Amino acid sequence: MFIVNEDLAGGRADVEVTRRTGYSRSHVAAAMRSGAVSVNGEPAKPSRILEPGDRVVYAIDPPRILEVVAQAIPLDIVFEDETLLVVNKPAGMVTHPAHGAADSTLVNALLAHTGTLPGEPLRGGLIHRLDRDTSGLLVVAKTEAALTTLGRAMQKRYIEREYRGIVVGIPREPSGMIRGAIGRDPHNRLKYAIRADGKPAVTHFTLRTRLLDAAELTFRLETGRTHQIRVHLAALGYPIFNDPVYGKLDPRASLPGQALHAWHLAFKHPATKERLAFQADPPPAYVATLTALEP
C-alpha cells in the first residue's frame, strides 16, 4: 500500500506498481485487470492516472516460474546430424514456453527428442522463431558452438528465409519492398506496429498467384522482427488472409490462424561449412485455402 504524493501524481497506476513490485508491466497489468489493485477502495485499470492523496493497495502474486519439461510430441524432422536439426513446425504449435503456453511447445518436443539443448532453457537451441499459427521450417542448434555460429549468421543476415502467404486483395505491383521499423503497438500490448522508434525491418515480396480478391505471395526477410510480415502487409493494405490480429478470420479457411508458411530455409552448416537448403510444402489446410480462393 502507498499514498500518492506530488512526485507520483500524474503517473499511471500500472507503471508505479510495476516499479514497486519489480514484476513485468504486462504481469502487473494483467493482475490489475483481475482486480488486484485498488485506488481509494475501487478497482483500478492499468491506465488509471494517479492523483495526490490517492490510496493505492495492491496484492499481486509473483509470476509463475516456467520450467521446460521434455514431452514426447511427434516432430516432422527434415534434416538432422550431431550438430543441428531442421524441423517443419505445424500451425497451432507455440515455438517455446511462455506464460499462457507453458507446455506442448516445439521446445518441449525437441527436448524429448534430443535430451539436451544449448542456450537459455526456455528457448533451447532456437536460432529463430515462428508465430504459433505460422507453419514451416526452423533450424535448431544441438551444440553450444552451433548455437553461437548460427546465431551470428542470423544477425548478419546470412540465413535465407522465404515464406509463402495468402493476402487479402491483389497488390498492384508484382513485387516490392516494405521498409518500416516495428515496435509494440502503444494501444495493444499483444500487437506490433510500424513505429518511428521501432527496430528496423525490411520485407521483400513477389506475386506468386492471383486468386479471387486475394493473392499468394512469397516473402523474403532481411530482418526477423516479431510479426514482421503480418505487420508490414497489413500496413500496405493487404493483410495476411485469416489473420485474427491484423486482419480478420474468414470462414473459407480451415486454418487455425493466418495463412503463412515458412517454406524455404538455407544456410551454411556451422561445422562443415557446406551450404544446406531445404523446402517444405505448405500444410493441407493452406493448400485447401488456395483451392477455395481459386478464381
Q: How many CB atoms lie within 10 A of CB 127?
A: 21
Catalytic one of 131, 133, 243, 250: 131
**DSSP letters for the chain:** -EE--TTTTTSBHHHHHHHHH---HHHHHHHHHTT-EEETTEE--TTPBP-TT-EEEE--PPPPPP----------EEEE-SSEEEEEEPTT--SS-BTTB-SSSHHHHHHHHHS---SSGGGTTBSS---TT-EEEEEEESSHHHHHHHHHHHHTT-SEEEEEEEEES--SSSEEEEE--EEEETTEEEEEEE-TTSB--EEEEEEEEEETTEEEEEEEESS--TTHHHHHHHHHT-PBTT-TTTS---TT--SSS--EEEEEEEEE-TTT--EEEEE-PPPHHHHHHHHHT--
CA separation for the pair 13, 39 (Å, rounded): 9
Q: Which three cell numbers stand for residue 286?
A: 493452406
Q: Which residues share a beta bridge with 214?
A: 168, 211
Residue from 185, 168, 162, 188 nearest 236 by CA: 168
133 is catalytic: no
Q: Which residues are catalytic?
A: 131
